[in-house]
Amino acid sequence: MILLKSQHQGKILSLPPPPSDFNNLLLKGNNLLALHTLKSVSSIYGNVKLIYIDPPYNTGNDSFNYNDNFNHSSWLVFMKNRLEIAREFLRDDGVIFIQCDDNEQAYLKVLCDEIFGRENFVGDFIRKTKSTTNDAKIGVNIQHENCLCFAKDKNNISFLGGEKDLSKYKNPDNDPNGDWVGADPSAKSGNPHTGYFAVKNPYTGKEDYPPVGRFWNFSQNTIQRHIDEGRICFKKEHKENERGFIYKRYLKDLKTNLRTFDSLEFTTNEYMNQVATKEAISLEIVDLFRYPKPEALLKRIIEVSTQKGDLVMDFFAGSGTTLAVAHKMGRRWVGIEQMDYIENITKQRLSKVVLGEQGGVSKLVGWDPKNLLGDALPNSFLYAELMPLNEAYKNLIIEATEQNITEIISKMQKNAFLNYRIDFVKTTKDSDFEALSLEDKKHILLNCLDMNLSYVPLSEMEDSEFEIPETLIKANKIFYGGKK
């Protein structure tokens, strides 16, 4: 466990509410360490209904402000470490959705098969990203990306939800079987001996065959039964290029009136990048997040996989789209983000949601802070940070210039926890060190840090060396339920 610094909607908390009372958590820090830290919070660990993540795609384009240019094996290890612990956070009926593209999709699928079990693969949901063409050298215009879904236990889930649109079912001919809709009488699979034959219209004499490569849904032995039942209805008049009969699908034959979750559901324009870009412009974050996901995408995923009050997690929180939509839909949420923009972008966006922001899907879901309070879900969130130790020096080194690197070295010598295997003073005072390039100096300084102490361990919070205020010590004891 790692010590937390905490804020509540931007204000420092002397004592955060205990885990049983807080509903929403935004946490800054390395997501792998943060996940291991949250294992000690019983209201979160093992209680997550939905995890949605949009990790680096490993494309070579640093469009997510993460290292989006890992070599292939490093990226797989990076994902494996996080997905293994993510699975532990899911409820027995929990699911995870992972956004990716063709660059790593196949390898990610195999990795998830290993972690979640091949038998728990739910589906690959395709999202249309754009309509425009590009100047791809080989003439292939990639217009989609993938969203892999796995369940902790596929036997425990169902994505059926909401009523199907049954408005097309009518009964214009007073068919005693009730409302019906015209359906395709052919199928891709079938027997060429029993499923491929002419159907002759007794009124016009027109003969119809199944389309090339397809077969009738009925055989020569069963066609008369379909006619007697009224399922096959011959037209007395039709155009020359029109099929001479109607094949009816009856409302009464539907296995369920509930809507299914289709793998091509996200191929319509409302889920495209341009929609998300417009939302990002309205939130004034488009310069930092070039490829955010539209709120409609998260709305649909959340509504099919969760109920009000369920817990949603995103440990690549980015601009906070998942968390914002979850909040608007009355779900509890946990978000983790390591980048510094979490304070100016993610936290501020969620603060606007708390105040009743009406962009994105707000109107579609009827977002009203007063209604949320009526559902006994507090309209608030807890913001906390893993308390940095050497992580702070790591960031200083990465951002160092020739003008301030000497000052950083001095601070490290006084306060940082250094790798005992390296003589820091001798290393940095060496004349050869001064002759190095800035990047080489940074590399050496990073190696001097003991990265086992990137953050302050909870077990050390009462050590006077860290000078941690008593109020913060009490806050962490409450958050972790008295554990150390």
Q: Report pLDDT digits (tens) over 72-92.
A: 788 899 999 999 999 999 999
**Residues 342 and 26 sit within 8 Å (Cβ to Cβ):** yes
Mean pLDDT of 143-164: 90
Amino acid at 395: N
Mean pLDDT of 367-389: 78
pLDDT at 4 over 80: no
Mean pLDDT of 453-463: 79
Q: Nearest to residue 458, comparing CAs of 480, 433, 441?
A: 480
Q: Where residue 9 falls among pLDDT bands split at 50, 70, 90?
A: very low
- HSE-CB for 160 with a 13 A CA cutoff: 7
Q: What is the pLDDT of residue 35?
A: 95
Q: Nearest to residue 236, comparing CAs of 193, 196, 276, 203?
A: 203
pLDDT at 159 over 50: yes
Mean pLDDT of 374-397: 81
- Across 219-223, 291-295, 367-371, the highest mean pLDDT is recorded for 219-223
Environment class of residue 259 by beta-carbon count within 10 Å: exposed (0-12), middle (13-18) or buried (19+)? middle
Supply the mean pLDDT for the chain. 85
Q: Where residue 63 falls among pLDDT bands split at 50, 70, 90?
A: very low
Q: What is the pLDDT of residue 7?
A: 44
292 Cα distance to chain centroid: 11
pLDDT at 379 over 90: no
pLDDT at 161 over 60: yes
C-alpha to C-alpha distance for 247 and 194, rounded to whole angstroms: 18
C-alpha to C-alpha distance for 94 and 75, rounded to whole angstroms: 25
Q: What is the pLDDT of residue 393?
A: 84
Pairing of strands 24-28, 382-386: parallel
Q: What is the pLDDT of residue 421?
A: 67
C-alpha to C-alpha distance for 147 and 285, rounded to whole angstroms: 24
Sheet strands (E) in 172-278: 180-182, 186-187, 199-200, 207-208, 215-216, 232-234, 245-250
C-alpha to C-alpha distance for 345 and 287, rounded to whole angstroms: 11
Q: What is the pLDDT of residue 64?
A: 42
pLDDT at 265 over 50: yes
